[in-house]
Amino acid sequence: MYRYDEFDARFVKARVAEFRDQVERRLTGSLTEDEFKPLRLMNGLYLQLHAYMLRVAIPYGTISSRQMRMLAEIAERWDRGYGHFTTRQNIQFNWPKLRDVPDILDALASVEMHAIQTSGNCIRNTTSDPLAGVAPDEIEDPRVTCEVIRQWSSLHPEFTFLGRKFKIAVSAAEEDRAAVATHDIGLYIVRNDAGEVGYRVLVGGGQGRTPMLARELRAFLPKADLLPYLEAALRIYNLHGRRDNKFKARIKILVHELGIEEYRRQVEAEFARIDRDAIAAPAEEVSRIAAYFAPPDLPVRPAEDAAFERALKTDPAFAAWVAQNTHDHRAQGYRAVTVSLKPVGGVPGDATAEQMRVLADLAERHSASELRVTHEQNIVLPHVALAGLYKVFRGLAGAGLDAPNRGLVTDIIACPGLDYCALATARSIPVAQAISRRFADPRRQAEIGPLSIKISGCINACGHHHVGHIGILGIDKAGVESYQITLGGHAGADASLGERTGPGFAYEEVPGVIERLVERYLELRSSRRETFLQTYRRVGMEPFREALYEPAL
């Protein structure tokens, strides 16, 4: 994992001291709310429906046991004993008091964490593959690129006040587990015909009220050109991006309005003009960063483990969990584990302080003290030996963290919605809970197979509904919640945006609506191997629409 150098530590500490002073001045009245608001947002502090909310950065989702324990301590000491892991691989605390926030930030700084640039119109946390450095199908660890971008984009004077927020994702694997095409800039680490490693650069993706998938800006960018090219791409956006209309301010609108060819022409012209050497990350600095992401020193293990095999045979719950929630590891005798934060009827992405400590302890004992937060609001233990898997499973089960549902119908992404969020127009969490309870039976979940349901409580789409196989958007209809359904969205390498089925449904109707869609899929699928998405792509919207709107005969 990346460790702060002296500069990083000094910078974060100075920022906390500065914010402490700003909070003090706000509380004594020498700063008005209008003056204070941009300052608190720069430090990740929102004001929500019932309370302040502090969003803490977890760069590219990688976190140590020590840091996870600190999050647990913060949850207990200054919040209500839990936190919420987000789709940007961060964590949010929902109930901090304004006067306590500087102390929370000091506590975070003591374990090399902060909340800087988790809000505001700047470059946000760069997200990545939760199996980075582990997945057998990856070219190299994408987190090195993420960290280079993090250092370049932190307090970048030119890009601290963009027209709107800016999100970057990096993936280096064949399978896209980072929803790259839904980002303002998406980077795929690829190999060209000559065998050189570089970037395929996408631009102009995003969700929100005008969802768009990113377009290809450059088929191959040499690695050394990363920062100069990003700088050129951001500069063109910063110069032309709409500041007059918040809803048209994201780069996707600019790329759409200019056209990808014209945007590319301007970026390439700027790229040709600028002093690339002055902007590029020095090779020795990239090497220094890369060294932090060297694979952990895992003991050599045999490919099989007799005790593991025995447990698979004797404990069917374990076998089901292994089949659904573990992934191949590039090291022999190891697996990566997805810990589901979606127990039946639970709040997607929430973990109590006790659960955070269990995760920290298990990671310390069985995963080189490392954890990952996924954009699907789960946790990954990246390096678990086969011989330790059963112990990990039992440990998770004891904390209610053993749901064997990764990628299944109950593995639902949901934004905080109207239960917390000041912008929300409808509730998301109770809808997710009701669907989860409806499909609680693990055999039924397995029968249905891969199916992603994503729920947003307003048009801003924080719950990624546009790329859910089934997307649910909660809106306000004359003061009452109403839910629109979209079908066929997908966040992988073959990303697609969902299409709306038709008129919306009442809050109470949603679980039944999902059930009708799932039943129709089970009737339509050509075989058990054809997933919901494949069936939808084969048969189209009409049969599903009929299932929802045609009166029963």
Partner 1 sequence: MAKAFTTTVFAANDLIGGDSVYLGADAWVRDISMAEVAGDPAEAEALAARAALGERANIVVGVYAVDVSLADGTPWPVTRREQIKASRSTTIPVGPAARLDVAA
- Identify which of residues 509 and 530 has a Cβ nearer to partner 1 in the complex: 509
CB of 430 to partner 1, least distance (A): 5
CB 418 within 8 A of CB 395: no
CB of 406 to partner 1, least distance (A): 18
Residues 270-289 that bind partner 1 (CB under 8 A): none
Which of these segments, 27-35, 169-177, 184-192, 273-281, binds partner 1 (CB under 8 A)?
27-35
Kindly determine how many residues on this chain lie close enough to bind partner 1 according to the rule CB under 8 A: 44
Question: Among 207, 481, 495, 545, which residue sits at the site for partner 1 (rule: CB under 8 A)?
Answer: 481
CB of 98 to partner 1, least distance (A): 5
Query: Which amino acid would we find at residue 456?
Result: S
Question: Among 3, 6, 7, 29, which residue sits at the site for partner 1 (rule: CB under 8 A)?
Answer: 29
Q: Does 472 bind partner 1 (CB under 8 A)?
A: no
Residues 400-439 that bind partner 1 (CB under 8 A): 400, 418-420, 424-427, 429-430, 433
Q: Does 340 bind partner 1 (CB under 8 A)?
A: no
Helix/strand/coil for 169: strand
Q: Does 440 bind partner 1 (CB under 8 A)?
A: no
CB of 338 to partner 1, least distance (A): 19
β 52-56/62-64 pair status = unpaired
Helix (H) or strand (E) holding 359, with range, is helix 353-366
CA dihedral (214, 220, 224, 225) positive or negative: negative
Q: Does 352 bind partner 1 (CB under 8 A)?
A: yes
Q: What angle do CA 460, 406, 366 make, to 5 degrees?
A: 115
Strand partners, 200: 188
β 168-171/127-128 pair status = parallel
Q: Does 78 bind partner 1 (CB under 8 A)?
A: no
Q: Does 220 bind partner 1 (CB under 8 A)?
A: no
For 492: left if phi > 0, alpha if psi spans -120 to 50, otherwise beta; the answer is beta
Q: Does 343 bind partner 1 (CB under 8 A)?
A: yes
CB of 12 to partner 1, least distance (A): 24
Question: Which one-letter DSSP state was computed for residue 338?
Answer: E
Q: Does 350 bind partner 1 (CB under 8 A)?
A: yes
CB 253 within 8 A of CB 237: no
Q: Which two tokens stand for residue 540?
A: 């189209």
- Identify which of residues 6 and 33 has a Cβ nearer to partner 1 in the complex: 33
How distant, in Å, are the alpha carbons of 133, 198, 217, 223, 370 from that of 191? 17, 6, 16, 11, 28
Q: Does 398 bind partner 1 (CB under 8 A)?
A: no
Which of these segments, 48-56, 129-137, 202-210, 241-249, binds partner 1 (CB under 8 A)?
48-56
How distant, in Å, are the alpha carbons of 31, 236, 263, 265, 274 from that of 270? 40, 8, 11, 9, 6
CB of 97 to partner 1, least distance (A): 6
Cα 401 to its chain centre, rounded Å, is 19
Q: Does 47 bind partner 1 (CB under 8 A)?
A: yes
CA pair distance 61, 86, nearest whole angstrom: 10
Name the residues that contact partner 1, by CB under 8 A: 26-29, 33, 47-52, 80-82, 94, 96-99, 343-347, 350, 352-355, 400, 418-420, 424-427, 429-430, 433, 476, 479-481
